[in-house]
Chains A and B, each alone.
Chain A
Amino acid sequence: MIEVRIHGRGGQGNVVAAYLLATAAIDEGHFGQAFPAFGAERRGAPVVSFVRIAERALRRRNQVLQPDFLIVQDRALLKVPGVLDGLRPGGGILVNTSLDAATIGEQVGSAVVTLPATQLAKTHLGRPVPNTALLSAFLTLTQILPMDALTKALEQKFRGDILERNLRLIEAASQHVPAGHWKERAHATGA
């Protein structure tokens, strides 16, 4: 089972990101589960969502306290208490920032990969919504699902121009991170 925790801010598509990742997994024949830890949602407030991907039915309903991977949609959230809590030894952190991994790594002190997802989203979508770029990078790093699975999940969610722009965005994002960098780690979890 792979457990992922996604941190973002209201308006960044945190829940959509979790749902897209689990949908892609389910449509590929795996078991998937995604759910938010809702606060009273408002734009800009820190929000959290969770994803589990497994090869058997997922029955537990508890929050992901010990994620294999963290996706952080806003670098400033790294300073929020609890955001880095529980990351399993050897786990990976994907951070949306234009800074390089070494700079962020000084702050976080773990296996960080960075992606300028907001910048890429502005270029390709015309809007600063980083979620789909981060999912693309996450799949490129872990190779737990083919990129085609994300494409299909996006096709269920978006249409027309927005879909086209998202497809260009995920293509661009996948070029920014080392393919298979977290593959061993992802496979060690047994998913």
Chain B
Amino acid sequence: MRQALEGSQAIARAVALCRPQVIAAYPITPQTHIVENIAKLVADGKLVCEYVSVESEFSAASVVLGAAVAGSRTYTASASQGILLMSEVLFNIAGSRVPIVMTCANRAVGAPLSIWNDQQDSMAVRDAGWIQLYCADNQEAVDTTIQAYRIAERTELPVMVCVDGFTLTHTLEPIDVPSQQQVDAFLPPYHFARTLDPMKPISMGTLVSPDFYPEARHSHHQALLNAAAEIVAADADWCALTGRSQGSLVQVEGDADASVAILTLGSVIGTLADAREMHPELGTVKLIRLRAFRPFPSEALLQACAGVTDLVVLERALSPGGGGIVGAEVKAALFDMPNPPRVHNFAVGLGGRDIPLDIYPRLLQAVRSQSPRPFAVFDVELDKLPAEDR
């Protein structure tokens, strides 16, 4: 049923529809409304589960890890410094190959302190071994949250659903909230095969000697790569059930035969799509959105880049001293192409700076007037900096 909902409220309802048994969370802007809304559903008796208010994000992640290996379906959510504080546990969850779903309400990382949106937090834990899916809008956040449980439970891998903080979490828009019957049909009750059971004792998280550690890492990597098929299948099956596809691994829109493409992750794609429609005079442009960042969708990316001569990689984070994070990975994947596009790599909208519609003509201007230059923060205002910092 189509309803006017704040993104956080819609995500909370999607989580509840998945019937989690244990939720542990610590509030942090801009994730707070999600866990508050879930807490209210629990308090109102609309969701029966164990809701654990913990004293830190480290504990939130630890509680869901413990609950998951005890056989529960679990949920947590965080952002920014909260993601960093739980990062040790995030690696342990993934390395233990435990299915957990969490929402990252994407926010900048301090210092300097910022409560606003970019994607530095989830990018900082991209190597933790979680599946990472980035959402374009709140309908996708709802549908992807539900898909995430199925992906996690079929792959025994944790899934981080990345949702732009404020830009999505605090935006009210029309949402089609699926029915309980639809979600139940999609997501049957789950039994974790390695549930800790005192009658059949096993050990988890034990010391692994050099004799077996490389094999553990190899199999974790393979499991992530294999998860791509489950991400595709979950979206296809969800589409068969609800009529809504959220774009599989890579979503392509715009002009299929364009020689210029803009690649990005998350909600900025909507602004670019509207701007593209407003500017037909600027020529044909393809828009590419990486919905999955882990596993990295190399094959789908190469297909999307066929015929593209100039590719703008627009990202919402950076690796200081290195440059673009997404840009570096895209370039690495394109290296296998016979005629790879030239890559123009920019960060934009860091720390919540508004990304206006005119970013689109400005990006195309930059592409057409210059050869690719080193990575840059596109919307930086250098006159605000002392000369030595420019």
Q: Which residues of A are at the interface with B, using a C-beta cutoff of 8 A?
A: 15, 18-19, 22-23, 26-27, 31-36, 38, 40, 58-63, 65
By the criterion CB–CB under 8 Å, are A60 and B4 in contact? no
By the criterion CB–CB under 8 Å, are B172 and A19 in contact? yes
| Supplied contacts A35-B172, A61-B171, 10 more A-B pairs, CB within 8 Å | A22-B4, A32-B173, A33-B171, A33-B172, A59-B137, A59-B271, A61-B164, A61-B168, A61-B268, A62-B356
CB-based A-B contact count at 8 angstroms: 71
By the criterion CB–CB under 8 Å, are B174 and A26 in contact? yes
By the criterion CB–CB under 8 Å, are A65 and B174 in contact? no
Q: Which residues of B are at the interface with A, using a C-beta cutoff of 8 A?
A: 2-4, 6, 30, 115-116, 137, 164, 166-168, 170-174, 267-271, 273-275, 354-357
26 A-B pairs, CB-CB below 8 angstroms? A15-B170, A18-B172, A19-B6, A19-B172, A26-B3, A26-B173, A26-B174, A31-B173, A31-B174, A32-B4, A32-B172, A34-B172, A34-B173, A35-B167, A35-B171, A35-B172, A38-B30, A38-B116, A58-B270, A59-B269, A59-B274, A60-B275, A61-B171, A62-B354, A62-B356, A65-B356
CB distance from A104 to the nearest CB of B (A): 29
Closest A residue to B136 by beta carbon equals A59
- Given A26-B4, A32-B4, A40-B115, check contact A61 B355 (CB 8 Å): yes
CB distance from B271 to the nearest CB of A (A): 5
A60 to B355, CA, bound (A): 10
Closest A residue to B267 by beta carbon equals A61
User: A22 contacts which chain B residues (CB < 8 A)?
Assistant: 4, 172-173
CB distance from B345 to the nearest CB of A (A): 22
By the criterion CB–CB under 8 Å, are B270 and A60 in contact? yes
Closest B residue to A15 by beta carbon equals B170
User: B137 contacts which chain A residues (CB < 8 A)?
Assistant: 59
User: B116 contacts which chain A residues (CB < 8 A)?
Assistant: 38
By the criterion CB–CB under 8 Å, are B167 and A61 in contact? yes
Which one of B168, B268, B269, B270 has the greatest number of beta carbons of chain A within 10 Å? Answer: B270
Which one of B166, B173, B273 has the greatest number of beta carbons of chain A within 10 Å? Answer: B173
A60 to B272, CA, bound (A): 7
User: B167 contacts which chain A residues (CB < 8 A)?
Assistant: 35, 61
User: A18 contacts which chain B residues (CB < 8 A)?
Assistant: 172
CB distance from B227 to the nearest CB of A (A): 29
By the criterion CB–CB under 8 Å, are B172 and A58 in contact? no
CB distance from B371 to the nearest CB of A (A): 29
User: A62 contacts which chain B residues (CB < 8 A)?
Assistant: 271, 354-357
Closest B residue to A63 by beta carbon equals B354
User: A65 contacts which chain B residues (CB < 8 A)?
Assistant: 356
Closest B residue to A38 by beta carbon equals B166
By the criterion CB–CB under 8 Å, are A27 and B170 in contact? no
By the criterion CB–CB under 8 Å, are B173 and A58 in contact? yes
User: A19 contacts which chain B residues (CB < 8 A)?
Assistant: 4, 6, 172
User: B6 contacts which chain A residues (CB < 8 A)?
Assistant: 19
By the criterion CB–CB under 8 Å, are B171 and A26 in contact? no
A40 to B352, CA, bound (A): 13
A32 to B174, CA, bound (A): 7
A23 to B270, CA, bound (A): 21
A80 to B261, CA, bound (A): 41
User: A34 contacts which chain B residues (CB < 8 A)?
Assistant: 171-173
CB distance from B202 to the nearest CB of A (A): 47
A139 to B273, CA, bound (A): 30
Which one of A19, A22, A32, A60 has the greatest number of beta carbons of chain B within 10 Å? Answer: A60
User: A35 contacts which chain B residues (CB < 8 A)?
Assistant: 166-167, 170-172
